[in-house]
Amino acid sequence: MENSYSSYKSPLSSRYASKEMQYLFSDQFKFSTWRRLWIILAQAEKEIGLSITDDQIEEMKSAVNDVDFEAAAAEEKATRHDVMAHVHVFAKQCPKAAPIIHLGATSCYVGDNTDLIVIKSGLELVLKRLAVLIQNLKKFALEYKDVPTLGFTHLQPAQLTTVGKRATLWIQDLVIDERAIRRCRDDLRFRGVKGTTGTQASFLTLFGDDHEKVKKLDQLVTQLAGFSKSYKVTGQTYSRKVDVEVVGALSSLGCSIHKMCSDLRILASHKELEEPFESTQIGSSAMPYKRNPMRSERCCALARHLITLHSNAANTHATQWMERTLDDSANRRITLSEAFLSADAALLTLTNISQGIVVNQKVIERWINQELPFMSAENVIMEMVKKGGDRQVCHEKIRVLSQEAAAQVKQFGRENDLVERIKRDEYFTPILGQLDKILDPKTFIGRAPQQVVEFLEEEVDPILEMYVDSLKDAKSVSLAI
């Protein structure tokens, strides 16, 4: 027996993405937007001189959201044409307006222009989510700007940094993404009314070869749809290069999310950082003690899928012959929706993480204590030279003691005892009183705390200022699953 569990549902809609983003790609939004575009076209054509009445426009407005999906599906099955199916259904609902619905337009008038409206709205939603995430990470970076932690290069312990400074590296990637996505939104234009191959021939006929009226029609429809500009030239479609740019910016965001969440997963394995973990959450079905970084893993999974979608958009644009081919249609239905839904889901999940990252400072201190003695060797040498020691002699002493200590760590699993070895060697007597200062982790972090403050004030705050209203309304993000 057929029920709601007997057909496929995308996990992006059933598990991950928000209701707001899902609605933008819903049939209701799509087909009611088609109707709004037919109303806009009629309004503009009437204003410029075609014989269209207020009654016809009001009749269309009264039915704009009342889409009979079953009737449209039946029409499409008969006509094999989605746009004409909806034209026929809309015309039956609006008999007065039937003669002027879709007047002079081609399918891409509603199809492409709706896609551009969806893209613009989707980019705005992504930008709001991104601003909230950046704000959360800003607070985290400030709180932990002075907390020393091991830096890693080649995934091997390196000089110290701070927990907050590392967070600014994540934020910097997201700032670059914000700029790219905002540029996509601001550069986005409307297709407008361009006709079957982009020449506006049908509209030129409608307006008696009056080129100025056709230009005015394009401008008026564009403005009524909420855009300031339309593309000056198109084929049958707007250039799929636009999709490449938009999906590329979202895919690049996926790279940033994957990088940050990979860092979190590695640090979680060290027990330095942890994701928020609910009291009833189960980390493993077999190992009750585990606290797996499941949210970060989800972000990486979603981001990886998002990254792959860029090649779909690029290959679709590359194969659009002449004025257009229809092999873009099925691909774009999948690629555009999944790019936005994946970005939305990953941002929501990462925002949830950013609300409550746990920093285990004692664990971090233990990691530092295991490695810092080796890193302090140069400082020890410098202090000995200040006390009159020979740099080369001191270097050799430290080299020998370091290798002995390293052997204890690597061969026997013991603690790093380099400091104790230095204390026992009479050669280092002149600096023994300064060892605690030499080994203070905060003397190894350079300008990390100052860099955090300068970066946030100079680079991040100006961006957050642009989203002040959205940030005021920002709510805590909880994950249903």
User: What are the residue numbers of the active site?
Assistant: 154, 284
DSSP 230: B
Token pair, residue 217, equals: 């029609």
Residue among 240, 258, 414, 242 at smallest CA distance from 329:
240
Rounded distance between C-alpha atoms, residue 349 and residue 299, angstroms: 7
Residue among 168, 345, 364, 152 at smallest CA distance from 268:
364
Q: What angle do CA 84, 85, 89 make, to 5 degrees?
A: 110
How long is the chain? Answer: 481
Q: Which residue's structure tokens are 């990088």? A: 259
Q: Which residue's structure tokens are 């970005």? A: 343
Rounded distance between C-alpha atoms, residue 187 and residue 199, angstroms: 23
Rounded distance between C-alpha atoms, residue 132 and residue 208, angstroms: 52
Q: Which residue spans within 194-313 are E strands per DSSP?
A: 273-274
Measured N-to-C along each axis, helices 241-269 and 294-318 cross at an angle, to the nearest 10 degrees, of: 160
